[in-house]
Each structure stands twice: as C-alpha cells, then as structure tokens.
Amino acid sequence: MKYISTRGQAPSLGFEDVLLTGLARDGGLYVPSFFPTFSKNDIKSFRGMSYQDVAFRVMKPFVCPEISETDFKDIIEKAYSTFRHKAVTPLAQLDSNEWILELFHGPTLAFKDVALQLLGHLFDHVLTKRGRKVTIVGATSGDTGSAAIECVRDRACAEIFMLHPKGRVSDVQRKQMTTVMSPNVHNLAVEGNFDDCQAMVKALFNDLSFRDEITLSAVNSINWARVMAQIVYYFTSAVALGAPDREISYTVPTGNFGDIYAGYVARQMGLPIRQLVVATNRNDILTRVLTTGDYTIGSVSPTISPSMDIQVSSNFERLLFDLYDGEGSEIRRLMDNLNQSKNFTIDGPQLDRAQSIFDAFQVSENDTEATIKTIFEDNCMLIDPHTAVGIKAARIKNSDINTPMVTLSTAHPAKFPDAVKKVTGQHPALPPHMADLFDREEKYDFLDHDLDALKSYIRLNR
C-alpha cells in the first residue's frame, strides 16, 4: 500500500515509513492511496473468528507484504495479549436494540490502548529491523498519554516525551503516566490547555531540522497506524450483530475525530454502517461543522469528559481530503485559512456529502450526568462520562429502531471516579492490577508554554 499526504506536497510512503513519520512533511496527514474493500462473503467469513484473526484480515491490505504476514500475525497476538477480556472489545447490551462496545479492557483502561498496544510492537519490529531509535513527542488531554507511555515503556527503540496540560487531567490519568519509572519515559506538565500542548507538538514537527536532529516520531491520533487499528472493532462488533446481512449504526464520543474516522473507513471498506453519529460535549466544533459547515476554533471549555475538550480535531483533515476528492490544493487552502483566521467553511456538495454520512449532536454537562444516572438505574451499570455523552447522542439521533445502535464505550468508569460517584453515589473500583495506583511514586517536570524550552528539554534528556 502507498500512502499519500492530504496536502499533496509530501513524498508518498510505504506503511513502515508512515508509521515512523506520523505527520507528513508538508503539514498534512498520510492516508492510504485507496481503501481496500471487502465483499459480503469476505465479511461473512469473519463470523465466529477471534478478534485477532479479524484484525489480521482487516489490516493486512494496509501493512503486508511490507511486513510479512507471519510477523504481522505475531505482532497482533502480542499486542492483544495485554487485554483483560478474551473478546478484546466485547459488546454489552443496554436495551432491545441498543449496545455499548467496551473498548477499555487494555492496560490503561481507555480505548486508545487498542491502537497503541499494536503500535508499540509495530515500532519495535520496524526499528529493530532498521537498527534505529526514535524520539516520540506527544500531547495528551488525558488518555493518549498513558496509553502511549504503556506502548513504549522499557523499549530500547524509543524515548518518549509526553506533554499534558497542567492541572487539567484527572488524578487517575496523571498518575497512570507519572508513576511509570522507566528511564525512557519523560512527563511534562505544561502551563496551558490541551490545544496549547498540541500546537507545541505540531510546531516541533514543522521544524524540519529539529525533527531530523532528534528523529522525531508521533503516536498521536494523526498516526495512520492508530486509525487503522481502530477500524477492526467496527468489523468485529458489526459481524457479531448480524452484518453484513443487516446494517448497524454507531455513535462515537469524539474529540480528535480519530475513532469515528475509523468507522468511516470501515464503511468505505464495505461494512454496512447505516448511521455514524458524532457525539461531542460542549466543545462542539465538530457538531457545528457537520450541521452548519462552519469550522471556527473557539476557546476550550473544561468538562467532565476531558478527553474530548478539544477545539482542533486533527483527523477531520482526512475526511476533508475525501470530501474534496483528494485535491491537496483545496486542503491547503482550508488549512491556510484555519491558520490565519481560525476558521474555514465547507458548503455545497462537500457539506451535503458530509451530512449524508454523519449525524452529530452536542451533549450538555447536565445531560451527561443524567445519562450516567439513568444507566445506573436502568442497567445497574456504571459508565464513564465520555460513554455517557455517546449514549445520550445515540438516543437522540437514532433514526431507525430496527437497526442496532452501538455506542463506543471509550473509557472505564474508574478513570473518572469523581463524576461517576457524584451522580450515582457509587465509587467505581480500579481493576486489581491498578488498585495501588494512588500509593505509587510520581515523576514529572513542569514546562512553560514555550517552544524553545521544550526543545532544550528534549535535547538535554533524550
């Protein structure tokens, strides 16, 4: 598979280079040059298969033969051996035709493990083969950080620097990052919000000489391999619920547009997905652009679903690329606008097309809490606030009661204990392997919102 940049001015690359590079050198994101498709019979053959076997079949066209089939199978086995549930991403039923897809059974209790556990082994494989080492720099609004750290901790092939907005991630989230004592792990608490952190990381990537100096790499959701790993659970869950003989709908609590974009790719690959609902909290830039075409960056407002407190949704550029028929010049025009005046507009056929694929709904803080309460009362189940945002949007936007509606459950409730306890009176317990998290020692440094300070820190500590 060849990969091309959404902005049309970077060299096309193979899978391994896309994996290591992250952001393209023209500022764009890498996308596959075409989406492989599966026939109805191909999809039927997934019935009864293990998660790992479906994963191999779904991802193979993106990865092999650059990585051999035997090696890739082995990588998939290792990646998902850390999940505490045999089905890896099991479905749980809420009502007659309503489900949640539990994506939180990995080491850090959020859906990002599904992709990042795979990425760690892919990095290891490719870097060992090439005899190279990389410096990974990332920004996190909470869950990416710990998942990325778990993905590369104690590996000789990578040094990782993770920026989080100081005081704006939950205690559990911070501790999951800062209690990892591996010498190749560096946590930085930055003065500012998540978008400030992400802007610093983007600026590093755009500084080509620094980028080469430290062999910079990314595990943020701009990395194609992450999107790719997330396509798999749309297939496993849809097949479990009767696809390809019936359609399935999905609602996705959305921040950076990575997880839902993976659902869009699954649909392009032939999975019969009826509705794809984008669920946002009051940071609603995606709901706005999909309902009115207006993508205007506002200021980030903190919520009880902090992993979605985002105003710039990086992966949206990948969808724009398809809406504009792969015209890199159009994407450059929109992104230049965004840089200069903090907004762009999509309209006409592009907006129509986006609206024919996606629904969107913005969920208030009150409704998020009410949903946590309702699910506890009706289903005797504790859910985290991100999942609650999804369920609320799913219930509002579901347009056909005969189509199963699946909401992606993106985090374990114990990751956000305060919000859950406030509403239900129940304290969600951490699973046994993490029960002593609050007794573990922490290690991290503070950093100003200053690019030069970040560069010096990396030079000094890598």
Ligand X SMILES: *Cc1c(COP(=O)(O)O)cnc(C)c1O
Helix (H) / strand (E) element for 345: namely strand 343-345
Q: Which of residues 377-416 bind ligand X (CB under 6 A)?
A: 386, 410-411
Cis preceding linkage at 11, omega within 30? no
For ligand X, which is the closer residue by CB, 157 or 227?
227
| Cα distance between residue 350 and residue 45, in whole Å | 35
Instruction: Note if 202 is an active site residue.
Output: no
Considering only the stretches 18-26, 64-72, 122-130, 250-258, report the one whose residues sit in contact with ligand X under the rule CB under 6 A.
250-258
Nearest to 308 by CA among 249, 230, 228, 362: 362
For ligand X, which is the closer residue by CB, 112 or 125?
112
Q: Is 118 in the site for ligand X (CB under 6 A)?
A: no
- Residue 462 CA: distances (Å) to CA of 47, 131, 180: 46, 17, 17
For ligand X, which is the closer residue by CB, 169 or 216?
169
| Cα distance between residue 312 and residue 324, in whole Å | 19
Q: Is 458 in the site for ligand X (CB under 6 A)?
A: no
Q: Is 368 in the site for ligand X (CB under 6 A)?
A: no
Sole binder of ligand X in the list 58, 308, 319, 420 (CB under 6 A): 308
Strand spans (E) along 27-133: 30-32, 91-95, 98-102
Q: Is 307 in the site for ligand X (CB under 6 A)?
A: yes
| Cα distance between residue 182 and residue 180, in whole Å | 6
Q: Is 256 in the site for ligand X (CB under 6 A)?
A: yes
Number of residues counted as binding ligand X (CB under 6 A)? 16
How many Cβ atoms from other residues are within 10 Å of residue 460's Cβ? 7
State phi, psi for 160 to the nearest 5 degrees: -120, 130
For ligand X, which is the closer residue by CB, 143 or 359?
143
- Taking a C-beta distance cutoff of 8 angstroms, is the pair 333, 227 a contact? no
Considering only the stretches 81-89, 91-99, 252-260, 367-375, report the one whose residues sit in contact with ligand X under the rule CB under 6 A.
252-260
Considering only the stretches 15-23, 181-189, 251-259, 332-340, report the one whose residues sit in contact with ligand X under the rule CB under 6 A.
251-259
Q: Is 258 in the site for ligand X (CB under 6 A)?
A: yes
Q: Is 143 in the site for ligand X (CB under 6 A)?
A: yes
Amino acid, res. 52: Q
For ligand X, which is the closer residue by CB, 233 or 257?
257
Sole binder of ligand X in the list 254, 287, 350, 374 (CB under 6 A): 254
- Residue 31 CA: distances (Å) to CA of 4, 11, 315, 322: 6, 12, 10, 10
Q: Is 112 in the site for ligand X (CB under 6 A)?
A: yes
- Residue 421 CA: distances (Å) to CA of 5, 418, 426: 45, 5, 5
For ligand X, which is the closer residue by CB, 254 or 398?
254
Q: Is 255 in the site for ligand X (CB under 6 A)?
A: yes
Sole binder of ligand X in the list 6, 170, 217, 221 (CB under 6 A): 221
DSSP 23: B
Shortest distance, position 82 Cβ to ligand X, whole Å: 17
Q: Which of 60, 78, 112, 443 is catalytic?
A: 112
| Footprint of ligand X (CB under 6 A) | 110, 112, 143, 221, 253-259, 307-308, 386, 410-411
Q: Which residues are catalytic?
A: 112
